[in-house]
Amino acid sequence: MRVALCSVVLVALVATASANMFESMFGGGGQQRQRRGRGGKPKGNDMKVELQLDLTDVYTGTRRDAQLSGKHKICEACKGSGAKGGKTTKCPACKGQGQVNKPMRMGPMMVQMQQPCDQCRGKGVTFKQRCPDCGGGGIVEDNKALTCIVDAGMKDGDELKFDNEASVERPDVLPGDLIFVLRVDQKRSKFKRDEDDPNTLHLVEYISLKESLLGFGHTVKHLDNHQVITTYSGVTQPYQVRKVQGEGMPIRGQGRAGDLLVEHRVRFPNQVTPAQKEKLLKAFGGWPKPKEETTICAAPPCTINVAAA
């Protein structure tokens, strides 16, 4: 009687230690619960897959057919039972429990530990004939293609969820959700999305020195190939930014777009001819300039003693 009592206490201690171990590993503490699907069956983990796109895809919107290799689903022919026609019988080894008690040595004593039944693999049922579609495993390869609809204006990191479409590993666990995570590559585009405001686009436009002084008119081909005209008749400073309203990224679901910010960079000539230099001197005045106009002041206001210099 005393030995039996010690065995029961030891089994309880082993079970408690195992539970504490899993709680510490997975953040348990009695708070974690197995997700349940239809019919009360446990539901498996969700599956996340990256969907690679470029900036044009999220500007115009697109559709992508995604077919994942190595994905599995519950066999439809046997409903996951592994039996031909779904005909099963109660497992004689575990009497339908799916678990059996097996002796295990713990120090000087032998204890009974519950383990999945080897004969039915923990299902609680067996069959005479294996399902020809899954070979008795209850799961088969899933080659179905899923259509991902990417709306115009979606952002990097946005998700598209397909309920109950994750890969399954066991026929007694329902599939989790398959989630496509959008990854937008901007490297091949001359347009860049603003990090703080995803509805704003940036564009660097190069102009000549002549255009920066006398004005210009440029035609820019946008991400969907429509043309944007940028014109200015006055002087443009290097790195000056101008806003073109309504030519940024589409705002998802609102039927309008953000703004396009165009940064102008001036390309200066590598050299000027003597004749060109003469004309420039006449246009901009003599040279050299007075000393007070050529002295760089690090911390204005500065005073310069011209006489002392």
- Higher-pLDDT residue of 151 and 288 is 151
- Is the pLDDT reported for residue 200 higher than 60? yes
Instruction: Say if CB 101 and CB 112 are below 8 A apart.
Output: yes
pTM higher than 0.75 for the full model?
A: no
Residue 234 DSSP code:
S
**CA–CA distances in Å: residue 22 to residues 26, 31, 34, 208:** 6, 12, 13, 68
* 176 token code pair: 């989790």
Residue type, 234: G
Residue-wise pLDDT tens digits, 38-48 = 556 789 999 99
Backbone dihedral angles phi then psi of residue 26, each to the nearest 5 degrees: -115, 15
Residue-wise pLDDT tens digits, 139-177 = 999 999 999 999 999 999 999 999 999 999 888 889 999
- Is the pLDDT reported for residue 24 higher than 80? no
Instruction: Say if CB 218 and CB 238 are below 8 A apart.
Output: no
Distance of alpha carbon 52 from alpha carbon 277, whole angstroms: 53
Local confidence band at 117 (pLDDT 50, 70, 90 cut-offs): confident
Return the sign of the alpha-carbon dihedral for residues 196, 248, 268, 215: negative
Instruction: Say if CB 292 and CB 305 are below 8 A apart.
Output: no
Which of 86-90, 200-204, 285-289, 302-306 has the lowest average pLDDT? 302-306
Residue type, 140: V
Which of 141-155, 184-198, 205-219, 273-287 has the lowest average pLDDT? 273-287
Residue-wise pLDDT tens digits, 232-281 = 999 999 999 999 999 999 999 999 999 999 999 999 999 999 999 888 88
**CA–CA distances in Å: residue 61 to residues 151, 153, 214:** 5, 7, 39
Q: What's the pLDDT at 23?
A: 37
* 75 token code pair: 């066999």
Which of 28-42, 120-134, 212-226, 275-289 has the lowest average pLDDT? 28-42
HEC letters along 147-166: EEEECCCCCCCCEEEECCCC
Q: What's the pLDDT at 40?
A: 65
